[in-house]
Amino acid sequence: MTAPDGTSAGTSDGTSDGSPTGTSDGAPGGASTGASFDATLRAVAGVEGWMTDGQARRLWDRARALAPGSRIVEIGSYRGRSAIVLASAAPPGVAVVAIDPHAGNDRGPRQITGTAAEGQADNDAFRANLARAGVAGRVEHVRLPSTEAGDAVPGPIELLYIDGAHRFGPARDDIVRWGARVPVGGTLLVHDAFSSIGVTLALLTTLFAGGRFRYVGRVGSMAEYRREPLGGVARAGNALRQAAELPWFARNVAVKVLIAARLGRLTRLLGHRDPAVWPH
């Protein structure tokens, strides 16, 4: 579905009853943009967001490795920074779906409650940024909260990136409901892991001791999991590897407390380089 101005493709907006008015044409995926990683980094340099260059590289590498017919789903797109990376890396025939209600709430750090106008500004920026990067036709945007978007996305999800609402309840719901759609061998990436309290508690109560996702590691606060069945010993090792990240989590919470208390200069004592920047 392409907007009359040609700036956005495949947008599924929520109607008044909350159901999608239309999904994309059902095609499994579009053509590759052919852009390099460095060119893509330059393309997102001016796009607001919290994804670091290292995290962009991880998204790029995991998207690039997908086979035709696979599907990428991003929960939480904001102004398109990570969606542009995923769409630019996706090989031909890989579908890219971005789920974000752009309703103004849960936009980012310390922005839990916002306004509809802020959400609409995010949506306008998202569409313009994707068009500028040449990937508007490559991304289907489902403009719904993730809790209501399940039916708008068919089939398995080989690469799931969760970066939506960071409060415990919604973050846990995204991991449980959407994570269940990642097939064995698929990848789950979660932003603000071991950094946001809500996201970390959600991980603690789902994936730490669970037997379905192996913890691969993290780039900053972007945690990577691979879907694979884990037996007893492997499961215990998996929990321990995640538990080993808890000191880093405690450090991030301390950094945030200091920044919120306007004592940002003290964060250097914890190895945090820029007191003006929230850890992510």
Ligand X SMILES: C[S@@+](CC[C@H](N)C(=O)[O-])C[C@H]1O[C@@H](n2cnc3c(N)ncnc32)[C@H](O)[C@@H]1O
Token pair 């940024």 is found at 129
In terms of CB distance, is 30 or 76 closer to ligand X? 76
| Shortest distance (Å) from residue 120 CB to ligand X | 11
> How many whole angstroms separate alpha carbon 149 and alpha carbon 144?
6
In terms of CB distance, is 214 or 218 closer to ligand X? 218
In terms of CB distance, is 76 or 230 closer to ligand X? 76
153-156, long-range: CB < 8 A, 24+ apart:
153/71, 153/73, 153/97, 153/99, 154/26, 155/71, 155/181, 156/71, 156/181, 156/182, 156/183, 156/186
| Shortest distance (Å) from residue 208 CB to ligand X | 23
| Shortest distance (Å) from residue 239 CB to ligand X | 27
In terms of CB distance, is 59 or 230 closer to ligand X? 59
Using CB under 6 A, list all residues that contact ligand X: 49-51, 75-79, 81-82, 99-102, 105-108, 122, 145-146, 163-165, 170
| Shortest distance (Å) from residue 55 CB to ligand X | 8
Q: Which two tokens stand for residue 169?
A: 């309840």
Token pair 């990436």 is found at 189
| Shortest distance (Å) from residue 119 CB to ligand X | 6
Cα 123 to Cα 43, 99, 137: the distances in Å are 18, 12, 16
In terms of CB distance, is 78 or 225 closer to ligand X? 78
Determine the distance from the C-alpha atom of residue 47 to the mean position of all C-alpha atoms in its chain, rounded to a whole number.
15
In terms of CB distance, is 104 or 186 closer to ligand X? 104
Strand partners, 227: 213
Residue 146's nearest CA partner among 203, 79, 197, 101 is: 101
How close are the terminal C-alpha atoms of the chain, in Å? Answer: 34
User: How is residue 136 annotated by DSSP?
Assistant: G
Residue with smallest beta-carbon separation from ligand X: 49
| Shortest distance (Å) from residue 170 CB to ligand X | 5
